[in-house]
């Protein structure tokens, strides 16, 4: 056993290799090289005939930011306007990973039947009991290795390619991959069930709004209540008017009471009648009557004196009667009679009329005060009741407005989600198939290129085999190698001849 081929100079120092030294091993191993070349070339051509030509289908995906979905929230959202529309490298890589995701590749495998084995396979012998999930998983791994997903530098494009010996299969795989990827993109970037949620909430608040409106209408109809604020304002004006009227009535009552008191005072000082004519005269008829009576009394005494003594009672009685008649006559002669003519005093009559009018007005004002007080109490009671009704109505209105606000909010959110779902259905997303896949017509390697590659590969492998075998051969191939290895001169060299 030796360390190196003696036909080659040892490493170290200056090594001079001529063209003859490079070509000589090829001539020594020409049979091996020829056989290797023929075997490699024939094997390559046979493999090309067995597997057929490979066809490659290409697809390009554009990642952009043209669509901005609203934030899924129960609050009122305002669309954000951003001037930065550049797509980051992280977003492009995220989309590339979505293309490589297991579920997407599994859908592609199942859609195109890549898990099925066509014809005889060595795996049938190695694992004859392999289940369908195992075949699907193996096909997914193979597809992940076969697919070429490369983001194009300095762009927003992801290039995808797939090669197969069946051009239609290559097209179908990329088309299924594009469809599954778009569905995956929508599922990832969209909140699942958001439209159904907002639809249910919209219906819920719609029912609440209808219930609140019905309760408000029933309340207003039951209490005959239109606008409590206007009615309270009108009642307040009426109350102010009634209070003002009450004050005026009380002032009038006080004025009438003072007028009545003053009229009574003046009536006490003012006579009811006034003398308009006065005449003074004596009472002649009374004097004549008294003189006649005196004469009759004297005549009666004379007659009694003729018959009786002065001490007789009848005579004395006649004397007394004479004395009385004389006194009455004297009194009648001294007494004067005054004849007066009177009439009603006008001041007294004015005071009396004013008193009567004041009393009547006072009674009316007191009645008015009672009515005004009742009216004020009634208005105040109505205002209190109306205020309570207004509070209840405001509560119902507030509930109605709240339900309406929630209904409009969720209605708007539902419309946003409906538009987003509609765009999802029509594949309006932030990614797009910029270059759709097509059925390849020409193979990746044509027969001229296949033959050229087979020939080149056979030449390289055959030459490599010749050099390796020659390097590993321990025999001496020329006298120089013997001299270099043994360090003695060669006297005579006899080349090996083939019999």
Q: How confident is the model at residue 66 (pLDDT cuts 50, 70, 90)?
A: low
**Cα–Cα separations (whole angstroms), residue 284 to 289, 291, 335, 337:** 8, 10, 10, 10
Q: Is 281 helix (H, G, I), strand (E, B) or coil?
A: strand
φ, ψ of residue 3 to 5 degrees: the values are: -90, -25
Q: What is the pLDDT of residues 73-93, one digit of tens each?
A: 555 554 444 444 577 888 888
State residue 153's pLDDT score: 86
Structure tokens at 342: 């009177």
Q: What is the pLDDT of residues 316-353, one digit of tens each?
A: 888 888 888 788 777 777 766 666 666 677 888 888 88
What is the pTM (predicted TM-score) of this model? 0.43
Q: What is the largest CA-CA distance in the chain?
A: 256
Token look-up 């018959």 returns 307
Q: Which of 426, 410, 430 is nearest to 189 (CA)?
A: 430
Structure tokens at 40: 């490699």
Count Cβ neighbours within 10 Å for each residue of 164-176 and write b for 16 or more, e otherwise: beebebbbbbbbb
Distance CA 55, CA 385 (A): 90
C-beta atoms surrounding 435 within 10 Å: 13
Structure tokens at 216: 């408000």
> Is the pLDDT reported for residue 51 higher than 70?
no
Q: How confident is the model at residue 6 (pLDDT cuts 50, 70, 90)?
A: very low
Distance CA 104, CA 96 (A): 12
> Is the pLDDT reported for residue 141 higher than 50?
yes
Q: What is the pLDDT of residues 399-421, one digit of tens each?
A: 888 888 888 887 877 777 666 65
φ, ψ of residue 339 to 5 degrees: the values are: -105, 115
Minimum mean pLDDT range among 115-124, 257-266, 335-344, 383-392: 115-124
Q: Is 247 helix (H, G, I), strand (E, B) or coil?
A: helix
State residue 64's pLDDT score: 76
**Winning range, highest mean pLDDT, from 2-11, 50-59, 171-180:** 171-180
Structure tokens at 47: 């493999």
φ, ψ of residue 497 to 5 degrees: the values are: -115, 140
Q: What is the pLDDT of residues 243-290, one digit of tens each?
A: 999 899 999 999 988 988 888 888 888 787 776 666 665 666 777 777
**DSSP, residue by residue, 14-82:** -----HHHHHHHHHHTHHHHHHHHHHHHHHHHHHHHHH---EEEEEEEEE-----PPP--SS-------
State residue 367's pLDDT score: 92
* Chain centroid offset of residue 61 CA: 37
Distance CA 62, CA 158 (A): 7
**% pLDDT > 70, the chain:** 72
**Winning range, highest mean pLDDT, from 35-49, 313-327, 446-460:** 313-327
C-beta atoms surrounding 160 within 10 Å: 23
Distance CA 307, CA 322 (A): 18
| Four-residue CA torsion sign, 464, 469, 474, 477 | negative
State residue 224's pLDDT score: 76
Q: Is 457 helix (H, G, I), strand (E, B) or coil?
A: helix
Q: Which of 327, 342, 240, 341 is nearest to 290 (CA)?
A: 327
Higher pLDDT residue, 189 or 399?
399
State residue 155's pLDDT score: 84
State residue 370's pLDDT score: 92
């Amino acid at each position: 056993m030796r360390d190196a081929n003696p036909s080659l100079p040892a490493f170290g120092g200056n090594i001079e290799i001529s063209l003859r030294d490079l070509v000589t091993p090829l001539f020594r191993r020409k049979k091996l090289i020829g056989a290797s070349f023929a075997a490699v070339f024939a094997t390559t051509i046979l493999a090309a005939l067995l597997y057929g030509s490979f066809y490659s289908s290409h697809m390009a995906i554009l990642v952009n930011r043209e669509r901005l979905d609203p934030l899924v929230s129960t609050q009122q959202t305002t669309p954000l306007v951003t001037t930065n529309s550049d797509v980051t490298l992280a977003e492009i890589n995220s989309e590339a990973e979505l293309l490589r995701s297991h579920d997407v590749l599994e859908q592609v495998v199942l859609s195109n039947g890549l898990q099925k084995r066509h014809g005889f396979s060595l795996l049938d012998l190695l694992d004859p009991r392999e289940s369908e999930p195992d075949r699907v998983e193996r096909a997914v791994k193979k597809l992940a290795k076969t697919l070429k997903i490369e983001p194009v530098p300095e762009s927003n494009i992801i290039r995808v390619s797939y090669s197969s010996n069946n051009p239609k299969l290559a097209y179908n795989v990329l088309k299924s991959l594009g469809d599954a990827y778009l569905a995956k993109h929508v599922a990832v970037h969209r909140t699942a069930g958001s439209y159904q949620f907002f639809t249910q909430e919209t219906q819920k608040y719609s029912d609440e709004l209808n219930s609140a409106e019905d309760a408000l209408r029933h309340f207003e109809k039951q209490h005959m209540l239109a606008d409590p604020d206007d009615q309270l304002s009108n009642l307040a004006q009426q109350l102010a008017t009634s209070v003002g009227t009450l004050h005026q009535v009380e002032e009038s009552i006080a004025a009438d009471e003072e007028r009545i008191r003053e009229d009574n005072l003046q009536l006490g000082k003012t006579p009811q009648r006034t003398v308009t004519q006065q005449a003074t005269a004596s009472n002649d008829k009374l004097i004549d009557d008294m003189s006649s009576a005196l004469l009759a009394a004297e005549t009666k005494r004379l007659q009694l004196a003729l018959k009786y003594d002065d001490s007789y009672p009848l005579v004395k009685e006649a004397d007394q009667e004479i004395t009385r008649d004389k006194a009455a006559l004297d009194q009648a002669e001294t007494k004067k009679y005054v004849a007066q003519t009177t009439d009603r005093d006008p001041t007294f009559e004015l005071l009396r009329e004013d008193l009567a009018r004041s009393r009547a007005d006072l009674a009316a004002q007191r009645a008015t005060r009672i009515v005004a007080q009742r009216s004020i109490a009634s208005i105040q009671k109505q205002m209190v009741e109306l205020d309570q009704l207004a509070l209840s109505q405001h509560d119902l209105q507030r509930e109605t407005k709240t339900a309406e606000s929630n209904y409009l909010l969720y209605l708007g959110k539902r419309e946003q989600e409906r538009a987003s779902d509609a765009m999802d259905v029509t594949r309006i997303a932030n990614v797009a198939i910029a270059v759709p896949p097509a059925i390849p017509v020409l193979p990746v390697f044509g027969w001229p290129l296949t033959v050229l590659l087979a020939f080149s590969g056979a030449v390289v492998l055959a030459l490599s085999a010749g050099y390796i075998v020659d390097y590993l051969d321990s025999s001496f191939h020329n006298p120089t190698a013997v001299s270099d290895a043994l360090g003695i001169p060669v006297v005579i060299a006899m080349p090996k001849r083939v019999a």
